[in-house]
Amino acid sequence: MDVVLVRWPAERQRRERLRAAGDPRLLLLEPGVAPPDGGDVLEDWIRIPADEADLLDRLAGLEARAATTLPVAPVLDDDGVLRVGGRWVSLPPVEARITGALLGRLGLVVSRDVLGRAGWPEGAPGRNALDVHVLRLRRRLSEVRLAIRTVRSRGYLLEHVPGASVTSASVRRQEDVQQA
Amino acid sequence: MDVVLVRWPAERQRRERLRAAGDPRLLLLEPGVAPPDGGDVLEDWIRIPADEADLLDRLAGLEARAATTLPVAPVLDDDGVLRVGGRWVSLPPVEARITGALLGRLGLVVSRDVLGRAGWPEGAPGRNALDVHVLRLRRRLSEVRLAIRTVRSRGYLLEHVPGASVTSASVRRQEDVQQA
DNA sequence: CGCAGGCGTTCACGGGTCGGAAACAACCGG
DNA sequence: CCGGTTGTTTCCGACCCGTGAACGCCTGCG
């Protein structure tokens, strides 16, 4: 999760949007202005001009806090880790990219075509590859209570699963199981 | 829980005691000195001289965080003793430094590269050294209910182990570790 | 109505890569 | 001298990811 830099008070509206979206942000305070009312652990501020080191320190602190708060909306970070509701899974590169595309349109249909380009920006392999990755992705995402629904001849759609938890045994990959 | 004001670097030892005790604290930085390595959500800093309002704002933020995070944040002191939730382990030098890096980004992925530089500031030995130390670290940390999770090809990630007590022998396989 | 084909799901498998773990040797301080 | 720490080598297993193929469901056409 990236921390966003926001000028204060110049970019007041932007700050509101970020706060509503639950994104962590660092306010860059113009000299003389007071820090705004806080109460949000995902917000911090620093007076400018400031040392590079100070700024990096504040950023690191914010990022760490952001990681420990429980995102109710799914968040995919740059390391292929998908967090949602206190749970997380790590996704391999191809599946992380596909997930990113689905996440960008959470609850909406994403065509196979778009998913293919997301997963393989340099050009897709065989036609079946996407199907197989969707299968694998389904198993992984079930651990964080997300599901990929099929919309026939249209594409796929990512949504939350209300139900109870899923045991790790029921989603174990059969490629591991069949070693015999 | 009251936030304690600590002069930095003048009261360095006092800060260590507070950190070990898990008390929230606000460092008052002398002009020109860099903020100390953080990674502790119960610590914040401010440069002095500072506005009264700024200081109060920082205090309020810390207090709010202390109220929500007080359930035992892991603390690593300069003697290589790691405390968490009433338990503790002593870590040898190399592993203490690696742990420090992981702790600074608790819950976030830390690359092997960064961990290597943390463990061996003077230059890393062979490539496998890190693997072995991670293995040893896993066994030690399991006694204080912390776990190092692998994020393949990306790095490692430190997190709390939710469940009941863990014996040092039960370092479980990766695929079982993903919590249900 | 019945069936062929489209479409999607699932399984099996193989090659390549990466991390885990044991065993061993060197080292250090008490 | 001994136990704990550290580094290396080496082998094994797990994971990633593409392919081929079998199967099932739905649709539309004859």
CATH of the domain at A116: 1.10.10.10
- How confident is residue A168, by pLDDT bands cut at 50, 70 and 90? very low
Residue whose entry in the numeric block shows the structure tokens 């997963």: A119
- B96 with B151, same domain? yes
The residue with greater pLDDT, A168 or B29, is: B29
Give the Cα separation of B138 and B147 in Å (integer). 6
Across the interface, whether the CB atoms of B180 and A172 are under 8 A apart is answered: no
Residue with the larger pLDDT of the pair A169 and A96? A96
Mean pLDDT value of segment B147-155:
96
* pLDDT score recorded for residue B13: 84
| A1 pLDDT higher than 80 | no
**Does residue A151 surpass a pLDDT of 90?**
yes
Asked if B119 and B67 count as a contact pair (C-beta separation under 8 A), the reply is: no
Position A177 scores a pLDDT of 41
B121 in the same domain as B46: no
Q: Do A77 and B179 touch (CB under 8 A)?
A: no
pLDDT for the residue numbered B23? 82
Per CB-CB distance under 8 Å, the chain A contacts of B179 are 87, 168
Residues of chain A above pLDDT 90, percent: 57
In chain B, what residues touch A57 (CB-CB under 8 Å)? 35, 38, 45
Give the gap in angstroms from C-alpha B108 to the nearest C-alpha of chain A. 6
Give the integer Cα–Cα distance in Å for B92 and B95: 6
Q: On chain C, which bases lie within 7 A of the protein's CB atoms?
A: 7-14, 18-23
Number of domains into which chain B is organized: 2
Final residue before a domain boundary, out of B38, B69, B100 = B69
Question: CA separation (Å) from A7 to A10, A64, B110?
Answer: 6, 21, 29
Q: Tell me, yes or no, whether A61 and A15 share the same domain.
A: yes
B47 shares its domain with B118: no
Q: Extract the tokens encoding B36.
A: 């100390």
Q: Which residue has the tokens 């749970």?
A: A87
Query: Is residue A167's beta carbon less than 7 angstroms from any atom in nucleic acid strand C?
Result: no
Residue B70: the pLDDT is 56
Single out the residue in A68, A84, A109 at which a domain terminates: A68
DSSP B70-133: -S---EE-TTSEEEETTEEEE--HHHHHHHHHHHHTTTSEE-HHHHHHHH-TT----TTHHHHH
Longest dimension (CA), chain B: 53
A124 and A49 belong to one structural domain: no
Residue B109 and residue B59 share a domain:
no
pTM assigned to the model: 0.69
Q: What is the 3-state secondary structure (H, E, C) of chain A?
A: CCCEEEEECCCHHHHHHHHHHCCCEEEEECCCCCCCCCCCCCEEEEECCCCHHHHHHHHHHHHHHHHHCCCCCCEECCCCEEEECCEEEECCHHHHHHHHHHHHCCCCEECHHHHHHHHCCCCCCCCHHHHHHHHHHHHHHHCCCEEEEEECCCEEEEEECCCCCCCCHHHCCHHHHCCC
- pLDDT reading at B163 higher than 50: yes
Phi then psi for A88, rounded to 5 degrees?
-155, 155
∠B64-B69-B72 over CA atoms, to 5°?
A: 145
Nearest Cβ partner of A65 from B41, B57, B176?
B41
The string of pLDDT tens digits covering residues B5-53 is 999 889 988 988 887 677 889 999 999 898 887 667 789 999 988 888 8
Q: Which of A68, A103, A122 is the last residue of a domain?
A: A68
Q: Exposure string (b/e) for B56-77, b if CB count within 10 Å is 16 or more?
A: ebbbebbeebbeebeeebbbbe
Lowest mean pLDDT among A122-126, A145-149, B112-116, B155-159: A122-126
Is residue B169 predicted with pLDDT exceeding 60? no
Residue B81 shares a structural domain with residue B61: no
Predicted local confidence at residue A116, as pLDDT: 95
- Say if B44 is an interface residue toward chain A (CB within 8 Å): yes
Output the average pLDDT for chain B.
Answer: 83
- Quick one: B86 and B171 in the same domain? yes
Nearest-CA neighbor of A62 among A5, A105, A136, A3? Answer: A3
Check CB contact under 8 Å for B105 and A60: yes
Confirm or reject contact between B101 and chain A (CB < 8 A). no
**Are both A112 and A149 inside the same structural domain?**
yes
Provide the domain limits for residue B113: 75-177
Contact B154 A57 (CB under 8 A): no
Q: In which band, very low, low, confident or very high, does the pLDDT at B72 lie, cut at 50, 70 and 90?
A: low
Question: Is strand C in 7 Å reach of the CB of A174?
Answer: yes
The predicted structure's pLDDT at residue B104: 86
Q: Are residues B33 and B79 in the same domain?
A: no
Give the separation between CA A148 and CA A139, rounded to whole angstroms: 10
Higher per-residue confidence, A170 vs A119: A119
CB contact under 8 A, A90 and B151: yes
Q: Which residue of A has its CA nearest to B104?
A: A64
Residues B127 and B124: their CA atoms lie apart, in Å, by: 8
What is the arithmetic mean of pLDDT over B92-112?
Answer: 93
Average pLDDT over residues B76-103: 90
Q: What is the largest CA-CA distance in chain A?
A: 70
Statement to judge: residues B79 and B167 lie in one domain: yes
Residue B160 shares a structural domain with residue B97: yes
A79-102 residue pLDDT tens? 999 999 888 999 999 999 999 999
> Do you know the residue count of chain A?
180
Element (H, E) at B43: strand B43-47
Q: Decide if pLDDT at A14 tops 80.
A: yes
Q: Side by side, which strands form the sheet with A4-8?
A: A4-8, A25-29, A43-47
